[in-house]
Amino acid sequence: MAYGTKLDPRPISGSLSVQDLVDHYFLAYNAARLREACQIFARKIAQPEVTIGVTLSGALTPTGLGTAAIVPLIRAGLIDWIVSTGANLYHDVHRSLGFDLFGSSPFVDDVQLQKEKVIRIYDILFDQDVLFKSDAFFRECMREPEFQHTMGTAELHYRMGRYTQAREQALGSGYVSVLTAAYEAGVPVYTSSPGDSTIGLNIAQLALEGYDLRCDVELDVNETSAIVYNATQDNGKSAVVIFGGGSPKNFILQTEPQIQEILGLPGRGHDYYLQFTDARPDTGGLSGATPAEAVTWGKVDPHQLPDTIVCYCDSTLAMPIVAAYVLANVEPRPLKRLYDQRDAMLKRLADDYRAKAPDVQQSDKEILE
């Protein structure tokens, strides 16, 4: 009696493509989960009616995966919006400015590195001066008049993308950062905790100098909720592809509880959920929480659990494989340019909530009685 697919691989040849490797040799355990994630992305998520949100946590861009994997997906219309740690955006810009990062060993002498003013991110090394010069670049940009008001992080990153684009083009190295690609494609990029990165530290310094740039985190909550609300109206669907966990994972998933629980608007949860993580679920942390657990919070559509995958592997392994597989199997989609639609999407959310607000307020009173 057959309980599944017969596992009958053939010997691997030197001409094996990524697609054949994934489809025919990732047969069990987390390799099979990675295969399923690749196939769901290519066959179901990469459809015109699906709005695709991606999260980035962990030190991904220092490895070069921002320009190598995320940028091609953005340009192919396969990423519509992003929630990232500020650190991934900050460290990505080092190469935009012409600085080098080097692969090394995680077993070097850190005391000696400190004496030589060398920074280490596990097995990646770069000069401390790279930080100081990158800080100076961000501060000089953010002193410009266009930054002197309160804004959401999508606007902050969009405006910075114009400056990273100009610097990359001036250097002529061919390097393209996530900020530049997102700026060009109209992909809004949010940071769930804007004070928790060197970009945030530099904004704090500018505040002491008397500049007026501030990050509006409430606007970020409402904008991201509006993106998901708009995506799931008119027979549309929402997908989340989560690299790592942490704050970006919570921020992209909390959009559905915000829509349903807080605003009292109709919602069903995200339609597709892919996560690549090394976090265990049994410690109770959000990073390891499963799609089934997320159903109880209204974050994931319970009817779509077969289209949710958790693959327990390092994102630096999964990301290039997923990107290569999807780009080989999917035609580019037209850019949704959600950045340009933020005001309209937010108005739709606000209008629908205001029509519902009296009921929400009355419910609050009844709950508290």
299 assigned to active site = yes
For residue 198, is it within any domain? Answer: yes
Average pLDDT, the chain: 91
Percent of the chain whose predicted confidence (pLDDT) is above 70: 92
Residue 48 lies in a domain: yes
- Is 4 domain-assigned? no
Termini Cα distance of the chain: 59
Query: If you average pLDDT over residues 3-14, what whole number do you get?
Result: 85
Catalytic residue among 117, 133, 249, 299: 299
336 CB contacts (<8 Å, ≥6 apart)?
51, 77, 80, 186
Report the alpha-carbon distance of residue 58 to residue 252 in Å, rounded.
16
pLDDT tens digits for 215-273? 999 999 999 999 999 999 888 999 999 999 889 999 999 999 899 989 999 888 889 99
Question: How confident is the model over 102-134, as pLDDT tens digits?
Answer: 999 999 999 999 999 999 999 999 999 999 999
Q: Is the pLDDT of residue 290 over 80?
A: no
Question: Does 2 reside within a domain?
Answer: no
**265 belongs to a structural domain:** yes
Domain CATH for 103: 3.40.910.10
Residue ranges making up the domain that contains 174: 18-368
Query: Is residue 351 assigned to a domain?
Result: yes
In a domain, 211, yes or no: yes
Q: How far is CA 34 from CA 199, 313, 315, in A?
A: 33, 9, 11
Q: How many domains does the chain have?
A: 1
Question: Given this model, what pLDDT does residue 282 score?
Answer: 64
pTM of full prediction above 0.85: yes
Whole-angstrom CA distances from 114 to 42, 90, 135, 149, 198 are: 45, 21, 19, 38, 19
DSSP state at residue 314: -
Q: Is residue 12 part of a domain?
A: no
